[in-house]
Amino acid sequence: MRQAPDCPSSLAEPAKMAELWARKYLGSLEARSQSWANGFEVKPRIVIARRLVSELRTASAKAWHLTESLLAYEVQRHGINATLIDPWKVSKDVHTVYVKALAAYGKEISPQRLSVKISGALGKLRQRYTAVDPRLIGFVSMQFHYCGKILVDSAPSIERKILMSYFKVIDDHLYMPLQRAYNAAAHYSYGDERLTVIQTLLPHITTIAKNVVTRVNQLYPNYCSYTDRLNNPLVQISSIRDAEMFQVYLWTCVLEQRFDSIQEELFPLCVMLYPTLKVNWELVRQMLHLLAREFKDYVTHNQMLFYAPYQDALWEMFSPNIFPDIIELD
C-alpha cells in the first residue's frame, strides 16, 4: 500500500519532481541559442515577444479553425457534448498562457525556469478541463499546439527554434498529467522504493523518447502521417512528445497505484487523435515495445516490478486484438 508522508521532507517531493522535469531543458540549449545569434543582427526578444502577443488573437482564431476542422467528426463520434467546448473560454486560456510564455521568452528567462513557474497554473487548467470530461483535453491541447505553431511561423526564422522550446513547455504540461504525478508523489515518504523508481527514470525521459523515435523512424522510413514523413523535424518533435507522454502516464499510474489516468485520459485521447492524424496502431505498439526495452537500461529487476503490471495493461489496451491494423516493413 502507499505510504503516507511521515516527515516534513516528503512535502518537497512535488517540487523535486518538477525540478527533475525542468532539468531536461538544460544541456546545450543556451549554447545553441547563442550560436544561432552570432553573426546576425536580430531584433531584441522583447520586441519580437510584443509583436507576437499582438498576433495572439488572430493565431488563436486560426488554431481554433484547424482544430475544429480536424476533430469535429471525432467529437461527434465519441459522444462528447460539444457545448462543453467553449471557444471563448479556451481562447481566453490560450491568451493568458501564451502571454506568460512570451514574457519569459522576451525577458530571456530560460524554458526550464518557465516550466517550473508555469507548471502549477497549467496543471490547474488541465484539471479544470479533464474534470468535466477527460477527453476534452485532446481538443484543448490541440488548440494550444496549433496556436503555438502559428506564432512560431510568424517569428523571425533565426528565433524559431528557441521559441519552440518555450512553447513545448506548454504542450508538455497540457498533453501530460505532470501536475497529477507531482501531487501523487506528495503522498510518499522520502526514500520510498516506488517513488525512487520514478525519480530514477524521470531524468532520462527525453533521452528514452528520442531513442525510441529514432528506432521507429528506422523501422518505418516511408511511413507518412497527417503532417509528413516520420523524419520531418516537426513530426519528430510531436513523436518525441508522445513518447514522453506515454511515460508520464505510466509513472502516474505507478504513483497513484491505479490505472485510471490511462483508462480515462490517455486511451480516449489516442483513439480520438491518432486516426485523425494518421498514426497507425502498429507505430504505437512499436513505441511501447521499445520503451520497455529502454527502461531496462536504468532499473533493476526488482524495480521493474513496480511498473510491470501497468506496462502490461497498457500493451493489452493497444494490442492487435483491439487494434488489428499493421504496417508492412520495407
Least confident of 124-128, 160-164, 226-230: 226-230
Least confident of 14-23, 202-211, 262-271: 14-23
Burial of 222 (0-12, 13-18, 19+ CB in 10 A): exposed
Q: Which residues contact 282 (CB under 8 A, 6 or more apart)?
A: 325, 326, 327
Q: Are 13 and 195 in contact (CB under 8 A)?
A: yes
Q: What would the mean pLDDT of 41-53 be, rounded to a whole number?
A: 85
3-state secondary structure at position 27? coil
What pLDDT sits at residue 24?
60
pLDDT above 90 for 6: no
Own/partner pairs for 1-5, CB < 8 Å, 24+ apart? Answer: 1/257, 2/187, 2/188, 2/194, 2/257, 3/187, 3/188, 3/189, 3/192, 4/187, 4/189, 5/186, 5/187, 5/188, 5/189
What pLDDT sits at residue 251?
95
What pLDDT sits at residue 229?
84
What pLDDT sits at residue 179?
87
What pLDDT sits at residue 15?
64
pLDDT above 90 for 288: yes
Per-residue pLDDT band at 17 (split at 50, 70, 90):
low
Q: What would the mean pLDDT of 172-191 be, rounded to a whole number?
A: 89
* 15: its cell numbers: 517540487
Q: 9: alpha, beta or left, given left = phi > 0 and alpha = psi -120 to 50?
A: alpha
Q: What would the mean pLDDT of 313-319 be, rounded to a whole number?
A: 92
Q: What would the mean pLDDT of 22-50 be, rounded to a whole number?
A: 62
How many CB atoms within 10 Å of residue 245? 22
Closest to 53 measured CA to CA, from 14, 10, 95: 95
Range 70-97 burial, b when 16+ CB lie within 10 A, else e = bbeebbeeeebeeeebeeeebbebbbeb
Q: What would the mean pLDDT of 122-133 be, rounded to a whole number?
A: 88
pLDDT above 60 for 31: no
Per-residue pLDDT band at 4 (split at 50, 70, 90):
very low
* 67: its cell numbers: 482544430
Q: Supply angle C-alpha 223, 313, 255, rounded to 5.
A: 110
What pLDDT sits at residue 80?
82
* Residues composing the chain: 330
Q: Are 78 and 17 in contact (CB under 8 A)?
A: no
Most confident of 34-38, 46-50, 172-176: 46-50
pLDDT above 60 for 10: no
The mean of the pLDDT values for the chain is 85
pLDDT above 90 for 275: no
pLDDT digits (tens, 9 = 90+) for 226-254: 777 888 888 888 899 999 999 999 999 99
Q: What percent of the chain has pLDDT over 90?
A: 49
Per-residue pLDDT band at 323 (split at 50, 70, 90):
confident
pTM: 0.81
More confident residue, 40 or 88: 88
Q: What percent of the chain has pLDDT over 70?
A: 85
Per-residue pLDDT band at 223 (split at 50, 70, 90):
confident
